[in-house]
Amino acid sequence: MRPPHVGLTLRIIAVLVVLGIAVFPLYWMFVTALTNNSELFADKARLVPDFSQFGVFIDALAEGKATTWLRNSLVIAAGTTVLSIGLGIPLGYALSRFSFRGKALVAVVLLFTQMLPEALMVVPLFALFRRFDLLDSLGGLILVNSAFVLPIVALILKGAIDGLPRELEESARVDGARPLTVLTRINVPLIAPSLAATAVIAFFHAWNEYVFAVTFIFTPGMQPASVGIANFIGELGTPIQTVMAVAFMFTAPAVVFYLFVQKYVVAGMTAGAVKG
C-alpha cells in the first residue's frame, strides 16, 4: 500500500507543474522585455531577467500611450461588468421565478447567441453604431461588449437563483416586501459567489476584446490596450522589448485579479448545480 504522504507529494508536484506551465508565458514576456537586442537574437535563450534593462517599462509608461491604453481598457472592462450584471440580475430572476409564454425559447435564444462569432456581427453593428453616433467612443464598446456577455451572465445567475429556496421570498412577501426588495435584499446577497463569477467573465471578455475595438475605434487616444499593442508591429521593424513590456503590463493585472477571485468563480459557477 502506498504511504499517504507519497500521494500528497505527487499531487503537489502535479500542481506545481501545471502552475509553471500556466505562469511561464507571463514570465517569458517579462524576461524578453528585459533582454537587449544582442542577447535577444543569440543562439542561447536568456532565462533570467536582466533588471538593468528595466528602463523599457519606464519608457513605455513615460510616453503616455501605454497608460492611456490601459486606462481605456479598464474603463471598458469596468463599464461592461457593471452594465451586464445590472441587466443580468433582473433577467436571470425573471427566467428563474416568473412563468410566461416563450420562457424556454428565451433561454434557448440566449444560449444560441453564444454560438455567434463576433466577426459575423461586425458589419451590421458598424452600420447601426454609425447611425446612432456610437463609433469611436468607449461607451459604444461598453454597449457591444455587454450585449455579447449578457446572455451568459443571465444564464449563470438564473442557475444560482434556481438553487435558492422559494420559502425565503414567500416569507419576505408575507412581511410586506415588494418584488424589487426581495430581489435586492434577499436574492442578491445569497448569490454573491455567482455575481463574482459573472463579474470575472464580463471583465475579462471586455478586457481582452479586440475585433470590435479595432473596428469601431479610430482615434489612437481612444484605443484599448488590446489594439494599442498591435500598433507596435511595423512594416520595417517591431520594438520587441517595448511590445513585451506593454503586453506584460496588460496581462499581469488580469492574472493577479483572477488569482484573488478564483475561489469565488468556482463557487459561483457551481451554484445551483445541485438542488436540495
Q: CA 53, CA 56: separation in Å to the nearest integer?
A: 6
Q: Mean per-residue pLDDT for 143-151? A: 94
Nearest to 276 by CA among 160, 196, 163, 188: 163
Banded pLDDT at 63 (limits 50, 70, 90): confident
DSSP 31-73: HHHT--HHHHTSSSPP-S--GGGTHHHHHHHHTSHHHHHHHHH
Q: 43 or 85, which is more confident?
A: 85
Q: Mean per-residue pLDDT for 82-97? A: 92
Q: Residue 194 is placed in which grid cell? A: 455567482
Q: Residue 247 is placed in which grid cell? A: 503586453
Residue-averaged pLDDT of the chain = 85
Banded pLDDT at 112 (limits 50, 70, 90): confident
For a pLDDT cut of 70, what percent of the chain falls above it? 92
The answer to whether 77 touches 141, Cβ cutoff 8 Å, is no
Q: Provide the terminal-to-terminal Cα distance of the chain, rounded to the nearest Å.
A: 38
Return the minimum-mean-pLDDT range out of 93-102, 132-141, 217-226.
93-102
| 164 has a pLDDT exceeding 90 | no
| 40 has a pLDDT exceeding 80 | no
The reported pLDDT for the residue numbered 235 is: 57
Q: 202 or 40, which is more confident?
A: 202
The reported pLDDT for the residue numbered 139 is: 93
Nearest to 223 by CA among 68, 60, 59, 62: 68
The reported pLDDT for the residue numbered 269 is: 57
The reported pLDDT for the residue numbered 271 is: 57
Q: What is the DSSP letter of 101?
A: T
Q: What is the DSSP letter of 236?
A: S
Q: Residue 261 is placed in which grid cell? A: 477571485
Nearest to 169 by CA among 138, 190, 152: 190
Q: Residue 19 is placed in which grid cell? A: 502552475
The reported pLDDT for the residue numbered 119 is: 84
The answer to whether 157 touches 88, Cβ cutoff 8 Å, is yes
| 166 has a pLDDT exceeding 90 | no
Banded pLDDT at 276 (limits 50, 70, 90): very low
pTM attached to this predicted model: 0.84
| 273 has a pLDDT exceeding 60 | no
Nearest to 84 by CA among 265, 206, 193: 206
* One-letter amino acid of 229: I
Q: What is the pLDDT of residues 214-250, one digit of tens each?
A: 999 999 889 999 998 888 776 556 788 888 888 898 9
Q: Mean per-residue pLDDT for 132-140? A: 93
Dihedral sign, CA of 28, 31, 34, 38? negative
Return the minimum-mean-pLDDT range out of 93-97, 113-117, 132-136.
113-117
Angle between helices 138-162 and 240-270 (to 10 degrees): 30
